[in-house]
Amino acid sequence: MHEGLTDKVAFITGLARGQGRSHALSLAREGVSIVGLDICDQFDSVDYAMSTPDDLAETVRQVEEAGGKIVARVGDVRDIESILACLDEGLAAFGRVDFVLANAGIMPIWGRGSDTMRAWQDALDVLLTGVLNTIEATYPRLVEQGYGGSIVITSSMAGVQPMMRTLQGKTLGLLGYCAAKAALVNLCQNYASALARYRIRVNTVHPTGVNTPMVDNDMCQRSLAERDPEDNLTLVSALPAEILEARDISNAVVWLCSDESAFYTGSAMRIDAGASLR
């Protein structure tokens, strides 16, 4: 067990599956109650199946089966009022919030619709503005409570290195994805600086490919097979690992929420098996 997690509350976006579900389960096993949302809908610019209400219900089932408490709602991080409504339900149920995991994401980088301005805008709206909305909705409560806290932003290895090496590999959706993930580093640093006096820590995590439905789908497999081999070199890891599991990222997130990381803030944690070294 990690220090300082029992009886705390985590607010998680992108809760229905993938890393969001994994984070919820990992924290619930540490005694953390979960509040969160997921859009459970499809974007036209995204060429893989996105989450559904059934996925969100399955997260609830798994958290409760693990002995955890959870409030989960359908919501959209592009709409701050949607976030606030979910947060209010969580506060009514649990009375506090301690950790904020700005995890919701889409990947309109390949496939039909990826090379359109719609894909670019969707990436910015969800991955950057959605994180801004999540933090703006939650940090006032963290400050008001006076307990300190931890905000963890899901970025990507795409936020610290180029993800294309040829013009064939370029899409407007991929550019939007990379631009948003890189901007999160600066967003994190500014919030970390401003919130430090309240003992609220803010960090980004930067995974390489993770074995979730966002990556394990026909669109990704087809695109990887068809891309110029030069572009695929951006995904090569230094350590012998083709892909990470969601729990590998959750292990880092749990530490970032715990008292063991009490003096770690404003940092970009790379969980990329050394991909950024190649």
Q: Which residues are catalytic?
A: 177
The DSSP 8-state label assigned to residue 227 in this structure reads S
Is residue 195 within 8 Å of residue 202, measured between CB atoms? Answer: yes
User: Does residue 18 come out as left (phi exceeding 0), alpha (psi in the -120 to 50 range) or beta?
Assistant: left
- Strand ranges across the sheet with 33-38: 70-74, 33-38, 9-13, 99-102, 149-154, 200-207, 268-271
Beta bridge pairs of residue 206: 270
Q: At 224, list the tokens.
A: 């990887």
Cβ neighbours for 88, distance < 8 A, ≥ 6 positions apart:
none
Say how far residue 115 (Cα) sits from the centre of its chain: 23
